[in-house]
């Protein structure tokens, strides 16, 4: 398998993510209508706990595999790349098995003390088998990403999503007559089915497509402890960052419903409101993640490769390109969420009241997308501890905001959204300052921010005029028209301002031809 360029690798992941996002939207809409916000709230109360254990099981090792394999390949040492992968694979196997057993042992305690709703137990129990499956699959993905081959990751993600959506909806529908808690458990079982399908496909790809070891080994391998130390020097800060991030999501899943109750909402209303926040508003907000997460994934090996070649100019160039693409995708999308939040939530999901949270979350959206991309750059630079420190600072402000603002009866979920947006802003700013100091980055503000911002403002002006004098986006047809109108206006203004160049268009053309 040949190596792929950084942007082409990100493009492959983008296409897969776009497909998955479309399927995910259909899935989310169907899930909301089948099991209602209460069922979605039940599932999302336990999902952060599952992800927390998953982060610990992976121990940041997949990111370490991607970075270290990329370094070894840059040095023409394929034997070393396989050695890194083998050591890391057995480490991740042991950690995932141990933590799965520990979670099973702790389930009664978690059920009693952690969850504000007694019906969430079944959803968490059904998710447990996926921990080992996902952990092992992530090791193989890290290996191929280190080779700068993003196609295996993209292919398995697509298969996972198709199986997860199909199995989850079918099982949830069949179990719904027994109660909403069993329907939520069906969604969990769908996750397990999807992850298993993706893992089996990844094993097949690895057997068929892994690069062969040819020729003589040029040097003796380092002692085992040396390679293990290299892995964990990067894996530990990545793990801590993801652990803290996921632990904070778990804190949110426990804290937000309790503070909603403190504001005067009943148990069922609290569960439904929380389900609307995480199942509708945040689902829409995370849409541009198809670009930023793809960029972050591709950036780790790409930046590591450039560093291994001692090419700091290439590091800066790839970083600036990633920041520009982030703003090009993130600014107009967040603006649309702010412009018609209630209409999007009502038409797509049937719950227009979720728009009050989406409108406020949209203000923090560009900062969320920026922090995701910059985190990928910092990890590629081997500075994975910086996002952790910044996350701790930002989360302190977020949790304080959630605690006080959510309990205000006149704010409730809008106060929650404001606190979350504040956390995104602080995290993005701190990450960017660290990035500037580490590589002396000098970004052209007009090119990366000014032109996308001006095009976004022009797009909103045209959409507002159309809404005032023609019709409002109150149906799926009208929503689609507004999105097309806004998209074409945005691209047209970008072209006029020089925010998109002929080079970008020719590169997109070559991507579409799959060259």
> pLDDT tens per residue, the chain (515 residues)?
445 455 555 566 667 767 777 777 778 777 777 777 767 777 777 777 777 777 777 666 777 778 778 777 777 777 778 888 888 888 888 888 888 888 888 777 776 665 655 667 777 788 888 888 888 888 888 888 777 777 787 888 888 888 988 888 888 888 888 877 788 788 888 888 998 999 999 889 888 877 777 654 555 555 666 667 776 666 676 667 767 776 777 788 788 888 998 998 887 788 778 878 887 888 889 877 666 666 666 666 666 667 667 777 777 777 887 788 888 888 999 999 999 999 998 888 778 888 999 999 999 999 998 888 888 788 777 777 788 889 889 989 999 999 999 999 988 999 999 999 999 999 999 998 888 888 887 777 777 788 899 999 999 999 999 998 888 888 888 988 999 999 999 999 988 888 776 555 554 444 444 43
Could you give the 3-state DSSP secondary structure of residue 281?
A: helix
What gap in Å lies between CA 138 and CA 57, rounded to an integer? 11
Using an 8 Å Cβ cutoff, are 301 and 66 in contact?
yes
Q: Which two tokens stand for residue 338?
A: 């702010």
65 contacts 86 by C-beta, under 8 angstroms: no
What is the DSSP secondary structure assignment for residue 222, as one 8-state letter? P
| DSSP codes of every residue in 115-138 | -SSGGGHHHHHHHTTHHHHHHHHH
């Amino acid at each position: 398998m040949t190596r792929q360029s950084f942007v082409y690798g990100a493009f492959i992941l983008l296409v897969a993510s776009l497909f998955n996002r479309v399927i995910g939207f259909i899935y989310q809409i169907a899930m909301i209508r089948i099991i209602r916000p209460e069922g979605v709230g039940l599932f999302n109360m336990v999902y952060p706990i599952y992800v927390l254990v998953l982060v610990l099981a992976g121990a940041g090792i997949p990111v370490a595999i991607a970075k270290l394999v990329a370094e070894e390949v840059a040095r023409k040492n394929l034997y070393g790349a396989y050695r890194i992968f083998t050591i890391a694979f057995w480490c991740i196997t042991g950690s995932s098995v141990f933590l799965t057993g520990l979670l099973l042992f702790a389930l009664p305690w978690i059920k009693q003390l952690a969850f504000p709703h007694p019906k969430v137990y079944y959803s968490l129990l059904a998710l447990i088998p996926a921990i080992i499956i996902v952990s092992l699959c992530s090791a193989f993905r890290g290996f191929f990403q280190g080779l700068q081959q993003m196609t295996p990751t993209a292919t398995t993600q697509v298969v996972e999503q198709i199986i997860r959506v199909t199995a989850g909806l079918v099982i949830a529908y069949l179990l719904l007559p027994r109660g909403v808690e069993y329907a939520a458990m069906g969604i969990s079982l769908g996750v397990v089915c999807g992850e298993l399908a993706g893992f089996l496909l990844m094993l097949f790809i690895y057997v068929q497509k892994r690069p062969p070891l040819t020729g003589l080994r040029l040097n003796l391998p380092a002692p085992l402890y040396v390679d293990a130390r290299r892995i964990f020097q990067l894996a530990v800060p990545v793990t801590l960052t993801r652990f803290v991030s996921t632990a904070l999501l778990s804190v949110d899943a426990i804290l937000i419903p309790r503070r909603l109750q403190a504001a005067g909402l009943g148990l069922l209303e609290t569960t439904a409101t929380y389900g609307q926040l995480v199942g509708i508003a945040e689902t829409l907000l995370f849409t541009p993640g198809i670009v930023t997460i793809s960029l972050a994934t591709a950036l780790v090996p790409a930046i590591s490769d450039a560093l291994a070649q001692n090419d700091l100019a290439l590091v800066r160039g790839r970083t600036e390109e990633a920041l520009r693409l982030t703003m090009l995708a993130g600014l107009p999308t967040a603006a649309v969420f702010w412009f018609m939040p209630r209409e999007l939530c009502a038409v797509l999901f049937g719950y227009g009241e979720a728009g009050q949270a989406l409108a406020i979350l949209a203000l923090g959206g560009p900062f969320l997308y920026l922090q995701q991309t910059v985190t990928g750059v910092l990890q590629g630079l081997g500075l994975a501890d910086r996002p952790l420190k910044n996350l701790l600072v930002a989360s302190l402000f977020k949790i304080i905001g959630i605690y006080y603002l959510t309990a205000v009866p006149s704010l409730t979920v809008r106060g929650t959204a404001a606190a979350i947006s504040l956390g995104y802003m602080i995290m993005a700013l701190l990450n960017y300052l660290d990035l500037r100091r580490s590589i002396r980055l000098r970004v052209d503000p007009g090119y990366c921010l000014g032109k996308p911002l001006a095009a976004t403002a022009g797009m909103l002006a045209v959409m507002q005029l159309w809404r005032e004098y023609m019709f409002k986006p109150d149906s799926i047809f009208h929503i689609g028209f507004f999105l097309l109108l806004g998209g074409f206006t945005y691209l047209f203004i970008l072209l006029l301002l020089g925010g998109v160049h002929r080079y970008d268009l020719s590169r997109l053309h070559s991507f579409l031809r799959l060259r």
